[in-house]
Every structure is written in C-alpha cells, then in structure tokens.
Amino acid sequence: MPDTKKFIENLSGAGKCIGVLTSGGDAQGMNAAVRAVVRMGIYVGAKVYFIHEGYQGMVDGGDNIKEASWESVSSMLQVGGTVIGSARCKDFRTHEGRLRAALNLVQRGITNLCVIGGDGSLTGANLFREEWSGLLDELVQSGEISEEASQIHSALHIVGMVGSIDNDFCGTDMTIGTDSALHRIIEVVDAIMTTAQSHQRTFVLEVMGRHCGYLALVSALACGADWVLIPEMPPKDGWEEQMCYKLSENRADKKRLNIIIVAEGAIDQSNKPITTELIKDLVVRCLGFDTRVTILGHVQRGGTPSAFDRILASRMGVEAVLALLEASPGTPACVVSLCGNQAVRVPLMECVQMTQEVQKAMDEKRFEEAVRLRGRSFENNLNTYKLLSHRKIDSELPHSSFNVAVLNVGAPAAGMNAAVRSAVRVGITEGHTMFAVSDGFEGFYKGQIKEIKWGDVGGWTGQGGSLLGTKRTLPAKHIDKIAEQMRIHNINALLVIGGFEAFESLLQLVDARSRYEEFCVPMCMLPATISNNVSGTDLSIGADTSLNAIVETCDRIKQSASGTKRRVFIIETMGGYCGYLATVGGLAAGADAAYIYEEPFDIRELQSNVEHLTEKMKTSIQRGLVLRNENCSENYTTDFIYQLYNEEGKGVFDCRKNVLGHMQQGGAPSPFDRNFGTKIAAKAMQWISKKLKEFYREDEGRVFANTEDSACLLGMRRRALVFQPVIQLKDETDFVHRIPKEQWWLRLRPLMKILAKYKTSYDVSDSGQLEHIVRLRAKDISAI
C-alpha cells in the first residue's frame, strides 16, 4: 500500500484570511475553540480575524472585525462563555444584511469562515455561502467592489463547530459546552442530595433543553434519579400513578430522598407541557411528601469549561482550520464533529436536515423515530436509563440460577462505584444472583464475598473512590484459595473493574484454567484507572475526573502566576509510565510543555524549552506552565527540571514546583466517568448473560467456558465499544512499563506544541475525510 501520510508542514495558509465568530446561545468551551482556530490559523501562515458579536458584528463591520494576534487569545482557555461576544441577529436574516456582511468580509479579504454556534447559526452560514456569488455580483454592480475583487474572492468556505449546551445537533456525539453544563447540573444535584437526605425531601429539578432531553437524560443517569421527563420520550398514559408508586416504593426501601429531573421542554403524549409545578402538586397531592422545586436556568451555561470541553474544542478548532485549508470551491460546507473518540467532518446541511427531522418527528408524535434520529449516543443513554431505572418485582424477573461476582482491583478510580451499581442492577434485572467481593483478590481468597441486592447500591453513582474496597494484590499467589471460594459460592461469571492489575489478573486466571476448572467461566474486565494505561481501550473510567482535578489546579496556579508575572510552574502528574494525564492535561490547561516517558527527551530539549519560555516572557504573556509525568525520566526528575529552569531562567523568570499527588485519585466522579462506567458495566452484564447461556452445558448442569473469547476486556476503540479477548491484547502491551505499545493520544501531542507556539511535525492523515451522516450512524449502532 503506498504511503499516504499527510503532514501539516505541506499545508499552507499563506495569503488566506479566516474569520472566526461565535453565534447564538453561548456555551463553555467556545473560547477554547476560538483560541485553537486563531493559533492554528496563524501557525499555518494565515491571517485570522475576530468577528465580534456574531453575525451582528459581521453586518455592522468597523471595529467589530479585528485581526487577532497570538497573544490576544491568551488566558481564554479557562474562561466560560465567549470572549468575542455573541448575539442573535435579525439583520443577517435579511438579504440587505447579508449584502453588508459580504462587503465587510471582501474589504478585509476574508473568504474563510469558522462559525461556532447552534443549528440556526450554521444554517445561516450555509445560506450566506450559497448566496455569496450573487451578493458579490450585486456589490460589483453598485460599484462597491471591483470586478477584480469579485474574482479574487469568488468562493466562500465555511466550516462549522457546534457550540450548544443542549447537545441537540445530529451528526456529533457531543457538542461543545454539553459536558460543562452536565458538570454544573451534577454539582447542584450532589449539593441538593445532602439537604434532601437531611429532611427526607423530594426535589424536582428543571434543566435546560427546550427541544432536546439530552441534559436531563444524562444527568438522571449520572445521579441515579428516580424519574426523568424528556421531550423525545413522553411518558405513557397513567404515568402519574406509576411515578408516585415508584417514589413511595423507594421511600419504603429506606431511601430518604427522591430526585425527579425534568427537561424544560418535557411534554406528555398529547404534546402538552409537563412543568415542575405540575409534578410538585402531583407528588404533594398523591403522596404528601415534602417537595421542593429547583430551576437551574442559566447556571448551566456558566462557569469554567470542563477538561473534556477544552480538549474537544481545541481538537475541533485545529480540525476546522485544516478543513478550511483543504476546501475547494466545490466542497460543501461541513461541520467538524466527534464520533466516538474520533474527529470527523460531516456535511453541514445533512446535519441540519436530520436535526430538523427530529423536531418534525416529535411534532407528529413519532417519538421512537425521534430518538433514533437523535443518534446512537442518545439512544444508548436512553436504553441504559430504562434498564436501570425500573426495578422489576421478583415475579417479573427471568430466573437464571447463575451467580455473578463483581470486584474492584488496583488503585481506586472515580466512577468505579457507578460501574458496580450498574452491573448489580442490570445483573438482577437479567435474573442473576449478584455477589460483591470486598478488597479485590485479597478479599476474594479470604472469602469476603456476599450477595449484593438492588437497594444496596442506591446512591453509589456520585461516590468517589471504591466502596467495595480495592487492592493491588494479584490472584496468582492465592490461586488455589480463590478457586476454592469460586467453588464454595458457585460463581458462574466474573466482572473485574480496575486498571493494569485487573488486566494482569484476568490473564493469570485464564492461564490457571488448565489447572482449575473453576476459572472456566465467562470473565469480563472494565478498564478503570486514572492513568488510562490499559491496552484495548482509548478511555478508562476515572481518567476524566483526574483530568478535571489537574486542570482545575493548573487554572489556579496560572492565576497566581499571572499576578506575580515572570513565573514558570513545574507540575508533576501521576500516571506511572503513561503520559496520558500529562499530555491531555497539558492540552486542556494550555501548558507550554509536557514531559512524558513515551517521547524521550534530552538536555537539548530542556534547553530549547527554557529558551522558548525566555522568549515568551518578552511578550505580554509572562507566565509558563510545564507538566511532567512522574516516571518520564529516571534522571530528569521534577527537582532536576525545577533547578535547571531556575538556573537558566535567572534574571528572566523564577520557578516554582508543585507535585499534585493523590488529589488526582480523589473527588466525586465527573459526569463523563459516571456515565461511561454506567454504560459499559450495563453492556458487560448483557455480554455475560449471553455468554452464560452460550457456555451452559445442559447435560452436566454447569457453565464451562474455556475459549479465548470468554475472557474479554470491554474498551472503547475509536468509535465503538468492543469486547476483546485479553489473550489477544497481550501482544499489544509493554508489561515492563505497564502501558500499551501504541497509544492514540500521542497524536494529540503536536496539537499541544502547536498551540504553545512550537514548530513541530503533525500527521494529519486522519483528517479530511468527509463522511455522510447516515453512513456514520449505520456503521456501528452498538457504540457508546
């Protein structure tokens, strides 16, 4: 196969002008996207212009359209909202307004637009593009521009990025701002839960989402809400009695609080609105519970962007500039979007049409189709919620007579408890008897195994650490005792949730199958480690929470540095030999450098970094941030780098160091980790059920699984959740350093360097394929 690699060095933006604007409702992360567009644009040699106040600024022209410099986007990354302003613009909806906007762009030579907004803003941009040549003809006829200018600027290229907290745009799994809005909602819900518990109250929470229930649905999943109401899935007639029955059932189960989450656009089967007050009155009238209403409102739009949104927006911003550089006059306007863990480009109008079809389906009461059109991410969230929310009475449950054990192995990771809760409840729904093992394999061989029931895992989603207890002990040393416990409790399947030790444990158990038939049962591992260092998955439960802890600390440190000026901070992150936290944390925090084991460095590189920071101190950005993975080098320790920077930077900048330590392991899990844990655990239990049926030997009355595919790791690979036999992942793993041999995030390192003004090589071969939205959905419906 010929080498088709494509590098950024071969793409030039010289002579091109790019305009960047934010339009419609603001969303956290928009600034990170603007920063990435500006810096990537300047990096490739283009001129980049801010268009202030959205389309209004484009129509009004003048000082609203200003050239951006590298320094002008400094300190934007951690700011919520949009620094360049956004406005709803009536003028741009008129032909006259668009004519003025075209004139303002041509006068500055801008023929490339990067629009960050919702579907309305992007539809407007596409109309503008379609009218462009006609608008230029009019301007030539009225004498406002020359024929030559019309020829030079004959094509307008448009790339969109979706900034919307509602996640209501088809064609992307996540829109910029959604994750941050979920952070705000979950912060509020966690706070409300403590007060509700004190007084045995019911809380009805209204979250944003006039036409889309994503925020309500995902926050309900993330906090284990008792009931959720969303526009796409109006409750069936008689829902009032059903809801009240469920609330009273939970109280009878000694649950001291109830949480009901309502999207502001929630409707019933007749398309009538369901309001928070209506629900409150219903609960008070039917049950007499002390009930309070909280409307979150604009809190959800505010605050600092989450690590996920900063990384998403930075990746999208860079991808948008690449798309503009590669656009030809015939290229349709596209949207840069996220599919699984991969950046893709999809035609803008296909996305808009699909988004409008959802609304049409809802108006015509075709609700199931509306859910399907929303896309696989929404559909999977809904299916998982349905699976977990409605507890079936014993007579409704299928009876499987299988026993399934769940345990945590390795270091604690936020989101482990959400995964255990999900596994236990799905397991019970599937008819199994669930057993919880305390303290990993150490507890296993000591016989710390007991049955765990539906109510035992109530309220676990929001708890950090590991409630089951977790240890790094591997099973090999105590293999005979573990086999004995498997026999005593008649364990027919194992679900192991943990990091690299969990992976090694599963390999040891598979290896022991030839000696102990007790281990010839289906086994599944879920990756849960802040280091994100397990083969077979791009993401692990706990890594997102850890990234947010790192980014939050870096923000505070940067703030202190900007007060004192001319200061560089060296920050040490965890991760063992895996540089994921340092690299991705560096990208999200706007670091100048990140030292990692996977990319060897020497004294010359350290020297060039010092020189780079010395140059930076001459600009208006007089601070530096350097991240170092704890095991990146045996000799270039955090102390060594700190002393080197201190010595070399004498008279130019001073230096401070900070070791973040175990704070990266603690804290309440982020919405992403709660949901990722919940979804993959549910999927793993369904796989276990399938394997138990497949490997059950009727004649012997037992389960016997001895094939490679009966011991799997469930991981996210680019776009899909896949079950991979652990034996096959052995070859992909560096066991000495406890990392995968190939790691996808290394491709993000050049982005961090480019955004910190380093010349670097960047392989953009992955970019540039325009995909069609229908094919994109059909490709893998089972993905996250």
- Please list the active-site residues: 166
Cα 99–Cα 101–Cα 103 angle in degrees, nearest 5: 70
* DSSP 8-class letter at 24: S
366, 233 contact by CB (below 8 A)? no
- Nearest by Cα to 561 from 653, 660, 659, 638: 653
381, 221 contact by CB (below 8 A)? yes
**Amino acid identity for residue 214 in this structure:** Y
Question: Cα–Cα distance between 123 and 130 in angstroms, integer?
Answer: 11
> Based on the number of CB atoms within 10 Å of its own CB, is 415 exposed (0-12), middle (13-18) or buried (19 or more)?
buried
Q: Which tokens hold the place of 209?
A: 């989402």
453, 428 contact by CB (below 8 A)? yes
Question: Cα–Cα distance between 578 and 677 in angstroms, integer?
Answer: 21
Q: Count the helices and strands in the chain (H runs, E runs).
A: 25, 27
Output helix, strand, coil percentages for the chain, rounded to the nearest 5: 45, 20, 35
3-state SS assignment for residue 254: coil
Q: Which tokens hold the place of 221?
A: 């999943």
DSSP string, 566-621: SEEEEEEE--TT--HHHHHHHHHHT-SEEE-TTS---HHHHHHHHHHHHHHTTSS-
* DSSP 8-class letter at 10: G
Task: Tell me the C-alpha to C-alpha distance, in Å, between residue 435 and each of 259, 451, 468.
Answer: 28, 4, 11
